Structure 1
Amino acid sequence: MRIARVLTTALLTATALTGTVGSAVADDPSPSPSKSGDAAGPTKAGTGFRDATAVEQGHKATAEASAGDYLYWVFPADAGRRATVKATVTLPEPAARHGASTWRLDVYDGLRRRQSCIYGMQGRGAAKEATSVELSCTLRTVRSWAEPWDNDPLPGSYYIRLTVTDLPAEDLGLPVKAEVEATSVDAGGAHAGGGSLSAPLVPGTATRARDDEGSTPKQAAATISEPDGGWSAGWWSDRWLWTAAGGLLGALAAIGGYSLTRGSGRASRVPPAA
């Protein structure tokens, strides 16, 4: 009976602890997806990394452009998040086009390293009769740190580049409308790292300004805004909760095993009845 009580207590404790872990993760605001895409974003795009237009996660950015232009946006992504970028290109009327076209969506980190997509349609062709084309790219989970030779995504700026890679020469310069949106979800403690960068990779972008005389263009530094709640500290994750739960279950199992062997030893020392 004593052993049964110990094992029952261990089972109830494990159940309660698992529920505590689940509720802690559910109550934590950080794992929730980023804001909905209904929020309005910028209405222009940059033409390169240095003048990429900053956009917050969950905000849709739009731009009027010409077929053949390179369009750039930049958004922040923190450690432990898995980001997804979606883009929609509204094409000119089919009667104005001379053939099919192929569009491509690329994402680069703060070191301007192109990041691979774990799934999504990164490049897609549009038939001559198509009115729009949709692209998407889901990145690997952003790590809090990585070795110098790794190409893992790191916290900081992420650049979106949208362009057409193939179309008839006669269609170059036709007006198109682009719409992009970046969102992310928390990947959980299973993807947490053991270290952190001293600072996120957030290089300055550029905006055009005028000097005091109002004649010479110059570069003025501008950076993306921090994610909601700021950049992560890099050490806390729900992995600590599961580690504590595992340690407690191990201790309870050891107590149960000790009680079982001690009870067996006492039974073996009982003298036989006369």
Structure 2
Amino acid sequence: MRATRVMAAALLVGAALFTSAGGAFADAPSPSPSANGEDAPTEAGTTFRTATPVEQGQKATANASSGDYLYWQFPAGAGQRATVKATVQLPEASLRHGTATWQLDLFDGLRRRQACASGEPTQRAAAQDASVTVTCTLRTVRPWAERWSNDPLPGAYYARLTVSDGPAQDLGLPVKAEIQADAKDVGGSRAEGGELAPLHAAALKEPESGWNGSWFSDRWAWTVGGAVLGALAAIGGYTLTRHPHRRHRPPVGQ
């Protein structure tokens, strides 16, 4: 019975550890109410230097003209996978002269263009479309990288939205852009050693998990959980061998 109780405790501890590890790397928490409140940006910059800062999960808007280059900047820390979504409300169809291609480009703090791991960063809007949406999901941000690499690093990221192709007569028509940058914390399964100071992020709010991500990773959970289970199993084995079941023997003389 004692050995049974020991093994049951081991299973409970292991289950608790692995369950908490899975929960630790769920999707990033929903933004605070202030992220989408009255303080949300209502304009965009026109260059890298004037890019409008936005928080993760914050929805920013801007009134502009077709042909303008619109810039925003947002933070991303190590272990995060950022997704940017932009929607453009197009001019009335009666004012347009044909199809137009809208493009979303993302750059890191060194202004290096980053490739999209998924999403549709380029979309063609037909003459009758009322809006067009472009998306881009970056690769997971790394805590450090070699100088020659183009890996995404913690710090500021820039989003640039513009029409890349369309009728010249449509340039200057009014449009309204809406953009939001979200980040999912996936650092546990991709944790790496090393740290790097954030790149050009002075104007941005630091992510909740920090620029270099949380120190905790799912590898820690599996390592500690395995050690605990191994120790409890050893205790159970020792208990079985040290106190074997003894058969009932009649008293001497009977």
Superposed CA offset, 1:70-108 (max 9, x none): 111111111222211111111111111110001011111
Matching of residue 48 in structure 1 with residue 47 in structure 2: yes
Q: Pick from 26, 29, 33 the counterpart of residue 32 of structure 1.
A: 29
Shift of residue 148, structure 1, vs aligned partner: 2.1
Partner of 1:73: 72
The question of 1:247 aligning with 2:227 is answered yes
Aligned equivalent of 2:204 = 225
User: Closer, same or farther in 2 for the Cα pair 1:151/1:246, shift >3 Å?
Assistant: farther
Give the TM-score taking structure 1 as reference length: 0.76
Contact residue 108 and residue 152 of structure 2 kept, 8 A? yes
**Displacement, 1:50?**
1.4
| Residues 1:108 and 2:107 aligned together | yes
Aligned to 1:87: 86
**1:173 is matched with which residue?**
172
In the comparison of the two structures, how many residue pairs are matched? Answer: 242
Q: How does 1:194-205 map to 2 (within 5 A)?
A: 194-197=193-196, 199-202=197-200
Equivalence for 1:58: 57
Q: SS at 2:111's partner residue?
A: coil
For 1:135, the aligned partner's letter is V
Compare 86-95 and 139-148 and name the one that shifted more: 139-148
Letter in 1 for 2:200: V
CA contact (8 A) 2:76 2:211 kept: no
Cα displacement (A) at 1:42: 1.6
Task: Name the SS of the counterpart of 2:226 in structure 1.
Answer: helix
Following TM superposition, by how much is the alpha carbon of 1:167 offset from its aligned partner in structure 2, in angstroms?
A: 0.3
Deviations 1:220-247 (A, max 9, x none): xxx4222254734556123323321122
Say which structure is richer in strand. Answer: 1
Matched residues in 2 for 1:189 and 1:56: separation? 23
1:236 equivalent to 2:233? Answer no
SS at structure 1 position matched to 2:31? coil
What corresponds to 1:130 in structure 2? 129
Deviation at 1:39, TM superposition (A): 2.8
Ranges in structure 2 where 5+ consecutive residues have no aligned partner: 243-254
Percent of aligned pairs with the same amino acid: 56
- CA deviation vs aligned residue, 1:167-224 (integer Å, no higher than 9, x gap): 0111122121111111112214112221111x11116xxxxxxxxxxxxxxxxxxx42
Instruction: Describe the shift of the 1:84–1:34 C-alpha distance in structure 2 as closer, same or farther (beyond 3 A).
Output: farther
SS in 2 for 1:177: strand
Q: Look up the equivalent residue of 1:226 and give its one-letter code.
A: K
Contact 2:31 2:58 in 1 (8 A): no
**What letter corresponds to residue 136 of structure 1 in structure 2?**
T
Residue identity in the other structure for 1:250: G
C-alpha distance in 2 between matches for 1:229 and 1:180: 21
Secondary structure at 1:241's aligned position in 2? helix
Moved more, 90-99 or 32-41: 32-41
TM-score between both structures, scaled by the size of structure 2: 0.82
Aligned to 1:151: 150
SS of the residue corresponding to residue 150 of structure 2 reads: coil
For residue 131 of structure 1, report the CA deviation from its aligned partner. Answer: 1.1
Aligned twin of 2:246: none
Using the alignment, how far apart are the partners of 1:230 and 1:22 within structure 2? 16
Instruction: Report the Cα distance in structure 2 between the residues aligned to 1:108 and 1:162, rounded to whole angstroms.
Output: 12
Does the Cα contact within 8 Å between 1:44 and 1:64 map onto a contact in 2?
yes
Query: What is the SS of the residue equivalent to 2:117?
Result: strand
How big is the alpha-carbon RMSD for the aligned residues of Structure 1 and Structure 2?
Answer: 3.0
Residues 253 and 90 (structure 1), Cα distance of their counterparts in 2 relative to 1, 3 Å cut = same
